[in-house]
Amino acid sequence: MIYYCGRVQGVGFRVTAAGLARRYGVQGWVRNLADGRVQLWVQGDDEGVEQFLSHLRQAMRGYIEGEESYAVADEAMEGFQIVT
């Protein structure tokens, strides 16, 4: 689980994440939180996840001010969703 802070809402973060997830073949979801952060849960093969996260950081570099990661148990997931 990853939490992003900064100016990460209203800038296309979730749409960018969803597009990159399809490109790298990872599964999971992304959602805005009431406190202004974005929460991301992603799973897939290690290389695909790392490439996805690297590309997401690069694409949103002007908006991300901080990132916190927490290990969570995997759950069966198909595709990638924007959660509202």
- Residue of 7, 14, 31, 37 marked active site: 14
For residues 55 and 35, what is the distance between their CA atoms, to the nearest angstrom?
A: 25
Q: Are 6 and 64 in contact (CB under 8 A)?
A: yes
How many other C-beta atoms are found inside a 10 Å radius of the C-beta of residue 25?
A: 13
The verdict on whether 31 is a catalytic residue reads no
- Residue of 7, 32, 37, 61 marked active site: 32
How many other C-beta atoms are found inside a 10 Å radius of the C-beta of residue 34?
A: 5
The two tokens of residue 64 are 């991300």
The verdict on whether 14 is a catalytic residue reads yes
Q: Which residues are catalytic?
A: 14, 32
